[in-house]
Amino acid sequence: MKILVCISHVPDTTSKINFTDGDTKFDTNGVQFVINPNDEFGLTRAMWFKEKQGASVDVVNVGGAETEPTLRKALAIGADNAIRVNTEAKDGFQVAKELAKVAKDGNYDLVIAGRESIDYNGGMVPGMMAKILGANFVNTCVSLEVDGDKATAIREIDGGKETLTASLPLVIGGQKGLVEESDLKIPNMRGIMMARKKPLNVVEPSNAEAFTSSEKFEKPAPKGDVKLVSEDNLDELINLLHNEAKVI
């Protein structure tokens, strides 16, 4: 089984976010980038298929050379090969088109992507890829088993979970639950050294058109000052909740 894992290069959630050029561009200075968490769950599940079923695992990213350390981390975790599509990720449709071309050219049986990235939270790339490829698709996937050319997946739905069966080729949008957080792999020194010798192939883009663009960014309003109320002054607390916070 050939598996392709899509990797997004995203800011660590602990990074301080700023914007430049009149709040029209994201400021990357001082920002630590990581593997998108939803993608990391998918990569870890792919490693399970590699260890238990002998699957081959490639990782792919759309982005410039600055994303290569993130791909190298995926190689250190255990992926066999990495592919970087040499173009800026501009919008979900453009990224989906570029990833779908890599998936089609590589004739992959299973494509694992995160259900969304934690930077723009678009949640559209996996579904678009499946449509372009003409493959089956399971989103919000929290469990995946593959037996031959048949897959059994569990996905979250409103009010519960749903079990589905599908034939390969298959695209999934994975998330937490696909593996547990305790199963996530931390690259060891041997893996890091081996990653330096593994292939990282740079391919030129198909120049897919982007249909959206970001005009301006705006930070959330700062939190207001905290008001402390004495535990003995219940009347004041009720008054503030009723007339100021308007929650009762």
Identify whether the C-beta of residue 139 lies closer than 8 Å to the C-beta of residue 126: yes
Q: What is the mean pLDDT of the chain?
A: 92
**For residue range 124-151, what is the model confidence (pLDDT) as tens digits?**
999 999 999 999 999 999 999 999 999 9
pLDDT on residue 82: 96
Domains within the chain, CATH numbers bracketed: 2-217 (3.40.50.620)
Query: Residues with Cβ < 8 Å from 42, sequence gap 6 or more?
Result: 5, 6, 112, 113, 114, 172, 174, 178
Listed residue (166, 106, 97, 102) closest to 132, CA to CA: 97
**For residue range 192-204, what is the model confidence (pLDDT) as tens digits?**
888 888 989 999 9
Structure tokens, 224: 């207001």
Identify whether the C-beta of residue 59 lies closer than 8 Å to the C-beta of residue 85: no
CA pair distance 240, 29, nearest whole angstrom: 41
Q: pTM, whole model, 2 decimals?
A: 0.86
Listed residue (6, 52, 51) closest to 173, CA to CA: 6
Angle between helices 125-133 and 92-106 (to 10 degrees): 40
CA pair distance 79, 72, nearest whole angstrom: 9
